[in-house]
Amino acid sequence: MIERKLIASEAEWLTWRKADVTASTIAALFGRHPYTTALHLHLEKRGVDFPRKPDNRVTRRGRWLEPAVAKAVGEQRPDWRVIPAGVYLRDPDLRLGATPDFFIDANDNPRGFCVLQTKTCAPSVFERDWDDGRELPFWIKLQVMVEMMLADAAFGFVGALVVDPYAMDVHLIEVPRNADLEAEIIAAVKKFWADVEAGREPPADLARDSDAIRELTRREQSGKELDLTGDNELPVILAQRAALMAWIKSAETRCEQIENEIKLTLGDAERGTGLDGWRITFKTTERAGYQVPPKSIRSLRIYDRRPLPERPDGGEDQTQQGAA
């Protein structure tokens, strides 16, 4: 039985979503989500309360323009009656949920009941990630697939509004039901919850899982040592890190020299003009004082004790640090 919960408040809706894998994040289970990862989702469902991402220009744009997309779709397809969904759908057995944006009334559509997911994007993103409407991003395809499954819809559409002030247009992209892909989604969700209950963590995405890794390594065990003898990979990446740190230091030093030369050139001038393609200002700004509250942070310190010929820093006795 699919539950249909009328959304009366955002706070209540967010609470419901915490108990489920949702359509908007399902692609993380396939390693194909642009904004979250399987490990982040795993820890979240185990009760880790990650800070909520702040509102930004992209999320505000999508929220503000959602009704506009529906209106544009309605004008393109006057035979459709586009209705705000206003419900949270969930399969309590799978613990899978979805919040469709709109429904298309079955009475007005002889093909059957339909869900409509609205998206907005910049022209460059639409060209790059959507192939100008010829290819639906995989994470959005999975999102609509889950919405169709839980709504028992015959098919779905994505209405993509390309936000170009000179050539704004909405593109309708159909998403048909796909039994094989739906079976993969169900299998992935079942495995996800089984792994959560068993404490089996998915592999970390080293480029995007800093917050999850920070959570997993929050505390050390006093006196514990890990013997790394025989580890063939760590010496390679440690040497790579040392070379990168030396390059960063050299680049930072050169940047400081350039900035000092610019400051001396400007002297007491507030701005520099006359350079094609550049805008330079050198103004005084006031910064309010503040106090930083105390907190405990684990710090990773790496000391390069290799023989001097192997060291890119020229043998300087320096500590390389990174908060973890």
What tens digit of pLDDT does each residue of 216-253 get? 998 899 999 999 999 999 999 999 999 999 999 999 99
Which pLDDT belongs to residue 2? 95
Residue 227 burial (10 A CB sphere; 0-12, 13-18, 19+): exposed
For residue 321, the one-letter residue type is Q
Q: Provide the 10 A C-beta neighbour count for residue 235.
A: 11
Is 128 within a domain? yes
CA 262/CA 264 separation, integer angstroms:
5
State pLDDT tens for residues 174-233: 999 999 999 999 999 999 999 999 999 999 999 999 999 999 998 899 999 999 999 999
CATH code assigned at 16: 3.90.320.10
Which pLDDT belongs to residue 108? 56
Is 233 within a domain? no
CA 164/CA 166 separation, integer angstroms:
5
Is 313 within a domain? no
User: Please, are residues 36 and 52 in contact by the beta-carbon 8 Å criterion?
Assistant: no
Is 238 within a domain? no
| Residues spanned by the domain of 40 | 3-213
Is 263 within a domain? no
DSSP code of residue 169: E
Which pLDDT belongs to residue 319? 47
Is 230 within a domain? no
CA 61/CA 64 separation, integer angstroms:
5
CA 124/CA 163 separation, integer angstroms:
10
How many domains is the chain partitioned into structurally?
1
Q: What strands, in cross-sheet order, belong to the sheet with 102-104?
A: 82-84, 102-104, 114-121, 155-162, 169-176
Which pLDDT belongs to residue 56? 78
200 half-sphere exposure, CB direction, 13 A CA radius? 6
Is 150 within a domain? yes
Q: What is the pTM of this model?
A: 0.80
- Residues of the chain where predicted confidence (pLDDT) is lower than 70: 106-109, 297-304, 310-324
Which residues contact residue 194 at a Cβ distance below 8 angstroms, ignoring those fewer than 6 apart?
A: 200
Which pLDDT belongs to residue 107? 60
